[in-house]
Structure 1
Amino acid sequence: MVRNPAGFWKRLAAYLLDGLIVGVPIALIGYVITNSWENNWFTSAANIVYSIVVPAVWSGYTVGKKLLGVRIAKVNGGKVGIGTMFLRSVVGGLVYVATFGVALVISAIMVAAREDKRSIHDFIAGTYVTTEKPA
């Protein structure tokens, strides 16, 4: 059951905060380790691990989401885990890449227009983003 869904702007702001607060330092560390900005395996791996592990162990929060008071939750009321976050981040990301970004644009429209504010990657993983605190 979807309760208190977070809208497009809060979700986008949380994503941008994650990029600044977590993504930039990861990219800098990746550059130091690999001596390359392009095809940087460390940065890619660290970002994937962050997007899967942090919400799974921190009640659906990432750093950006925590700062804005939103979190990822399962539609069925369960806790998000590694498998759920893998589906949401990796499988959802593959859908966006496979459609050359068309599905990403559709997802943004879905979050803006749908009452439950769920995107394609939310449907894949059975999740939504909410302003409700964990139980």
Structure 2
Amino acid sequence: MESAGFWIRIGATLLDAIIVSIPLAFFSLIITGGENNEELVTDILSFLYSLLLPVVWGGYTIGKRICGIKIRRVDDHSSPGIVTMLLRNLVAGVIYGLTFGIGVIISALMVGLREDKRSIHDFIAGTEVVFDSVDMITRKHN
């Protein structure tokens, strides 16, 4: 399968942000009743979305599914498990925070410049983001 590059990955992330942020904000408002910790609840729900959805939906988030890309493990090309996604999101997030965002910039450059399009969080978790084989067949026939 073909590795997904910088722009398609950014597009999927933006779609996730747009499509998921409104329902998450709504659920946070319901859960908190409009109290001051609404942002914390939204952050927790967002983290759970990015952690759990790829595990239960075969490597997809809503944005990735729309864009025809998915996360998979490099070693056996299987869908990511919970430990893989924890490494990808939590450990990488800590590293990005500790580097004051420099790690995010380096990751973006890695996706844009490396042949395999893998970023820091892909290396930490042993994952890659690839175009879905069904989508690849559709694109070749059009």
Name the TM-score, length of structure 2 as normaliser.
0.86
Q: Which segment is superposed worse, 5-14 or 20-29?
A: 20-29
Structure 1, unpaired ranges of 5+? none
> Percentage identity across aligned positions?
46
Structure 2 residue aligned with 1:74 = 73
User: Judging changes above 3 Å, is the alpha-carbon distance between structure 1 residues 88 and 46 closer, same or farther for their aligned structure 2 residues?
Assistant: same
How do 1:1-135 residues align onto structure 2 when only pairs under 5 Å count? Answer: 3-34=1-32, 35=34, 40-76=39-75, 77-133=77-133
Higher helix share: 2
Runs of 4+ aligned structure 1 residues displaced above 4 Å come to: 36-39
Structure 2, unpaired ranges of 5+? 135-142
RMSD across aligned positions (CA): 1.7
Deviations 1:76-97 (A, max 9, x none): 1232111101110111111111
Aligned length: 132
Confirm or deny: 8 A CA contact 1:31 1:37 kept in the other structure. Answer: no
1:78 maps to a residue whose letter is S
Name the TM-score, length of structure 1 as normaliser.
0.90
Deviations 1:29-85 (A, max 9, x none): 223433257672211111111111100011100000000000001101232111101
